Amino acid sequence: MPNWTREKVESLDQADPLAEKRRLFHLPEGLIYLDGNSLGPRPEGVAARLTAVVEDEWGEGLIRSWNAAEWIELPQRVGAKLAPIIGARPGEVIACDSTSVNLFKVLMAALTINKGRQKIVTEAGNFPTDNYIIRSVASLSGLECLARPADQLLEAVDADTACLVLTHVNYRTGEFYDLEATTRKAHDKGALVIWDLSHSAGAMPLDLDRAGVDFAVGCGYKFLNGGPGAPAYLFVAEALHDKVEPVLSGWMGHARPFDFADDYEPAAGIDRNLCGTPGILGMAALDAALDAFADVDMEEVRRKSMQLGDLLVDLVEDQCADHGFSVISPHDATMRASQVSIAHPQGYAIMQALISKGVIGDYRDPEVMRFGITPLYLRFIDLWHAVRHLRRIMEKETWRRPEFSERHPVT
């Protein structure tokens, strides 16, 4: 561990090839934002785009804008913009619905493709919504759902496994799976694989096509900065497109929605995975937000992410030693995604005290303080200041103030 000084940290910013990207985001003055893994900040182009959609396209164009402003194609266009970020071809990704709903859709599709097999396997402690949906699907389909700890997962995948459903990055620890190797091992047993990329897309390079992934889903509002409750997306490998039998067979996934036919006929390709009318305001915000990734090399993002994460771990362990923190994210940057999680018995109150000082992270029971690492707009010096605030809060015991222990509905 180098002996960090403010000057050394500043020199990392001076050498940062991504430093210019910060200008693409609206960040409130004086705030240190370490929660872009939960809700990304607003990219600068979004406000103008939303104003244009509201005032011109909706306000003046009204229903004509479905054609004139090409609203009807937005889910495909946003999907195509997302594709290079996750290593997919443009026609393999579509923006729609929420991650939870998309997981339901692709899991039902996978079970139909792998009919006859009796098990769905996932990780115990997976992100809650994923496991709730998986269990509902299992009970709806009369299948068995096995939730296993990460180190026993692959043993549970066998010739009776229809589908392995995993979240790429563990939301508590930030540890992540080897996506390609895990996919291959599941495929060796004939299981299909669904990945939830909510905590990796936009934060690290992904190559779904090379890894041979069957299905993926993920969130638009975290590292992709699409805005609160932004549309999610789903990926289906091209080879499986025709095999998907949509269970939420809404009219937007019909081959010809405006025939108003009595019978459902699925659209070709990825389009059949749509269900109802897309929310154009949210879709337009995500579309504009993704422009921030236009000339970004994801390998560069990953390099800076690892460097930022290492610095944060070093600073906490160096400057806040003796205050009872333990870093629960992997120390090895190659095993850690774009967040650093630090456990402390008083984690909730300490996080509230930090937020009151303008350092924003979040908290997950039990004891986990999470700090999102977002290379496009985070500076190394931000982490220096954040840890100084943390140390002062511990030294002065400000976290003991009663208001910091009050629980809010969203932590």
Residues of this chain that interact with ligand PLP (CB under 6 A) are 98-100, 127, 129-130, 167, 171, 196, 198-199, 219, 232
Q: What are the distances in angstroms from CA 46 to CA 49, 101, 193?
A: 5, 25, 34
CA–CA separation, 17 and 299 (whole Å): 12
Query: Toward ligand PLP, which CB reaches closer, 128 or 345?
Result: 128
* Shortest distance, position 402 Cβ to ligand PLP, whole Å: 31
How far is C-alpha 377 from the chain's CA centre?
Answer: 17
Query: What is the closest distance, in whole angstroms, from the C-beta atom of residue 166 to ligand PLP in the complex?
Result: 9
Q: Whole-number minimum distance, CB 361 to ligand PLP, in Å? A: 16
Beta bridge partners, 371, equal: 340
The active-site residue, picked from 25, 33, 215, 221, is 221
**Phi, psi angle pair for 396, to nearest 5°:** -90, -5
Q: Which of 21, 304, 370, 379 is catalytic?
A: 370
127 assigned to active site? yes
Residue 160's identity, in one-letter code, is D
Q: Among 16, 97, 130, 196, which one carries the catalytic annotation?
A: 196
Q: At closest approach, how far in Å is the CB of 152 from ligand PLP? A: 20
Contact 128, 196 (CB under 8 A): no
Burial of 43 (0-12, 13-18, 19+ CB in 10 A): buried
Asked if residue 366 has a cis previous peptide bond (ω within 30° of 0), the answer is yes
Closest approach of ligand PLP to the CB of residue 286, in Å: 12
* Active-site pick, 42, 119, 222, 302: 222
The three-point CA angle 329-333-335 to 5° equals 70
Half-sphere exposure of 131 (CA within 13 A, CB side): 10
Closest of 341, 405, 394 to residue 368, by C-alpha? 341
DSSP structure class, residue 203: T
With respect to ligand PLP, which residue has the nearer C-beta, 183 or 198? 198
Specify whether 221 is catalytic: yes
Task: Say whether 259 is catalytic.
Answer: no
Active site residue 171: no
**Quick one: 4 or 104, whose CB is closer to ligand PLP?**
104
CB closer to ligand PLP, 100 vs 356: 100
Q: Which is nearer to ligand PLP, 104 or 380 (CB)?
A: 104
Question: Would residue 370 show up in a list of annotated catalytic residues for this protein?
Answer: yes
Residues involved in catalysis: 127, 196, 221-222, 370
